[in-house]
Structure 1
Amino acid sequence: MSVKPPRFGIWALVHGSRAALQDPAEPYDASWARNKALVLEAERLGFDSVLVAQHTANPHDPSLDQLEAWTASAALAALTSRIEIIAAIKPYLYHPVVLAKMAQQIEHISGGRFAINLVNAWNRPELERAGIGFAEHDERYAYGREWISVVERLLRGETVTHRGDNFRIDGYRLLPADPYRARPRIYVGGESEPARSLVAAHGDVWFINGQPHDDVAGLIADVSARVRPSGHEPLRFGLSAFVIARETQAQADEHLQHLFELAELDKPLRERQKANTDPQAVMHQTFARSARVGSNGGTAAGLVGDYDTVARRIAAFHRAGIELFMLQFQPFEADMRVFAEEVAPRVRRLLGA
């Protein structure tokens, strides 16, 4: 498997801090102003991508602010010049024709730097309270697979006629077509069997939640062995991870313990979130296997330590097949700068990149 040089991205703070919401060093702030400043700083520091997760209501506490993913992504596309903008999308929230047109427009605004991240939802109230309904796990993936099959063809500039279980489309074509490439990149999240099948058929990059190295290598081996449609490039892989990098291991461990203590204050919110989560979601089954802070696997990937240790572990993940590292920090801005200045250069030296 050929792996491109490592890329580093950040999670936008669409619903506040990633490890603990009640942190005196990082007061809750999911505003557009903060996220704009964060992404512009990330671009200046050399980060390659930003992932803007999609929630129409805050998944932790519905009384808290929540950044809207697609309007924010369009604005970020206009304000930035180099960084890749990845907007998450839950198929039930948008008809595929409407979403494809929105994606195509942001692709034009960005000059060919836009991507979508297909996720099939886990937060039950978000859909149920909107009157959309929350289908069973495999049914959501079947819907998502049909949905992305339509979106992908529209993004390629094809004239689409489709008769499926969920959509009937007659000779639809979106113009102007993408002048930068065949279509925007498609990222896919989820680790269940339907998710793996979907990404092999329609994805460009598979997002894997933070896990130990050997578990990640096993997931890559499984999906890499699956048949891809004719004409599709080999599948690429991304990893979500929460990073704590300090001058010494003791300092990193101390900060991790501090975040664990702060996270305990959020325990009532986590219990509410657990009650709202689909129990069949493999993501949350994986998270239950180990103590961690951060979302989407967080510190389970083991990127906690001194600068050299974190760099070596990232290099090992890269050798296993991970190309894009989608990172979280807390305090976010300060630790993002430390990573860019101390860890990223060490990784590139280790890999000769």
Structure 2
Amino acid sequence: MSAKPPRFGIWALVHGSRAALQDPAEPYDASWGRNQTLVLEAERLGYDSVLVAQHTVNPHDASLDQLEAWTASAALAALTSRIEIITAIKPYLYHPVVLAKMAQQIEHISGGRFAINLVNAWNRPELERAGIGFPEHDERYVYGREWISVVDALLRGEVVNHRGDNFHIDGYQLRPADPFRARPRIYVGGESEPARALVAAHGDVWFINGQPHDDVARLIADVSARPRPVGQDALRFGLSAFVIARETQAQAEAHLEHLFALAELDKPLRERQKANIDPNVVMIQTFAQSPRVGSNGGTAARLVGDYDTVARRIADFHRAGIELFMLQFQPFEADMQRFAEEVAPRVRRLLFA
């Protein structure tokens, strides 16, 4: 079991609903106003973290709205007082010196509540149409590993002299330094072999995509056994999951079937999107193994059922080593409140009563 109590976070709705885009109960809304209200309510309800995914254009349909992650995160840092703000970054979109300075500034605005989520990209048009290019899977991880090594050192306040394949940096140092801790926390996503090597070397928390308990336990065992840099704390683990919790199992399964039916309306859009995704991304291969709703594994983690069943499954994941549960819902606001009031207290009783 994780040595730390479970934490619960939410995915910001940066590109609208997570399970189905054409839901009468949750009209499409990726606006700053909705996300601001959502995150402030999550903080009020006791959620510990918010993950702000980064896309410059909507990955489902370029004609749909898309929240900008880094400017929104800076605003959230100023508006909130307790919740951790985790912002995703695709290394090819920002030079490491520029990104490190932005991250350091949001760390100061938040009072030490900021974190980076390193994502090595999967949506081809986002980079190609900007003229950046879209290297092969493993090459993206080579680039990402060099990139994060520079960002890490800059965030620690070090004087950086770096000669690599992609960056040449001479005597760079960022000020003011972080007065709250050594540097903001670094989350890493991805489950391929290069991703696992990267997180073991540079990550603080590994984000695992939603999938069954035994598969998650095997992933944790694999990466936990890998060597860490001298002086680095033990790696911690997070899990993405879509939750459907209701008073009864039948009610939860009925809502799941409802979301499956709504998701069918998005099928033409998903088929177009599929052509833009790198087929070598392990996340995509994992998703193909079972039907699900939600992104990043969604309901594949099987957090669907009555309140007690969902709480028991979360407790089992925690005992396997998951500390942070990054959650999705639909309808988001109503089910986020339901989870905070009905499921989270049950989890804590199971683990600590």
The separation in 2 between residues aligned to 1:224 and 1:3, in whole angstroms, is 14
User: Is 1:71 aligned to 2:76, yes or no?
Assistant: no
CA distances 1:2-59 after superposition (whole Å, capped 9, x unpaired): 5310000000000000000000000000000000000000000000000000000000
Query: Aligned letter for 2:104?
Result: Q
Q: Is the 2:85–2:115 contact (alpha carbons within 8 Å) kept by the matching residues of 1?
A: yes
Query: Aligned letter for 2:78?
Result: A
User: Is 1:342 aligned to 2:342, yes or no?
Assistant: yes
The separation in 2 between residues aligned to 1:292 and 1:3, in whole angstroms, is 31
Q: Is the 2:2–2:323 contact (alpha carbons within 8 Å) kept by the matching residues of 1?
A: no
Map of 2:157 onto structure 1: 157
| SS of 1:187 mapped into structure 2 | strand
Map of 1:223 onto structure 2: 223
Q: Is the 2:2–2:320 contact (alpha carbons within 8 Å) kept by the matching residues of 1?
A: no
Q: Is the 1:3–1:322 contact (alpha carbons within 8 Å) kept by the matching residues of 2?
A: no
Give, in angstroms, the shift of residue 273 of structure 1.
1.1
The separation in 2 between residues aligned to 1:249 and 1:270, in whole angstroms, is 29
User: Is 1:263 aligned to 2:263, yes or no?
Assistant: yes
Runs of 4+ with >4 A deviation: none
Give, in angstroms, the shift of residue 239 of structure 1.
0.1
Q: Is the 2:252–2:304 contact (alpha carbons within 8 Å) kept by the matching residues of 1?
A: yes
Query: Aligned letter for 1:209?
Result: N
Give, in angstroms, the shift of residue 271 of structure 1.
0.5
Percent sequence identity over aligned pairs: 89
Map of 2:242 onto structure 1: 242
The separation in 2 between residues aligned to 1:128 and 1:151, in whole angstroms, is 24
Query: Aligned letter for 1:19?
Result: A
The separation in 2 between residues aligned to 1:334 and 1:146, in whole angstroms, is 42
Give, in angstroms, the shift of residue 78 of structure 1.
0.2
User: Is 1:279 aligned to 2:279, yes or no?
Assistant: yes
User: Is 1:122 aligned to 2:122, yes or no?
Assistant: yes
The separation in 2 between residues aligned to 1:244 and 1:332, in whole angstroms, is 10
Q: Is the 2:204–2:235 contact (alpha carbons within 8 Å) kept by the matching residues of 1?
A: yes
Q: Is the 1:240–1:296 contact (alpha carbons within 8 Å) kept by the matching residues of 2?
A: yes
The separation in 2 between residues aligned to 1:245 and 1:49, in whole angstroms, is 20
Map of 2:34 onto structure 1: 34
- Map 1:86-97 → 2, pairs under 5 A: 86-97=86-97
| SS of 1:166 mapped into structure 2 | coil
| SS of 1:86 mapped into structure 2 | strand
| SS of 2:342 mapped into structure 1 | helix
Q: Is the 1:200–1:226 contact (alpha carbons within 8 Å) kept by the matching residues of 2?
A: yes
| TM-score, structure 2 as length reference | 0.99
The separation in 1 between residues aligned to 2:319 and 2:86, in whole angstroms, is 24
Map of 1:293 onto structure 2: 293
Query: Aligned letter for 1:24?
Result: P
Query: Aligned letter for 1:233?
Result: D
Number of aligned residues: 353
| SS of 2:308 mapped into structure 1 | helix
Map of 1:21 onto structure 2: 21
| SS of 2:62 mapped into structure 1 | coil
The separation in 2 between residues aligned to 1:269 and 1:349, in whole angstroms, is 42
| SS of 2:322 mapped into structure 1 | coil
What are the ranges of 5 or more consecutive residues in structure 1 without an aligned counterpart?
none
The separation in 1 between residues aligned to 2:228 and 2:303, in whole angstroms, is 32
| SS of 1:206 mapped into structure 2 | strand
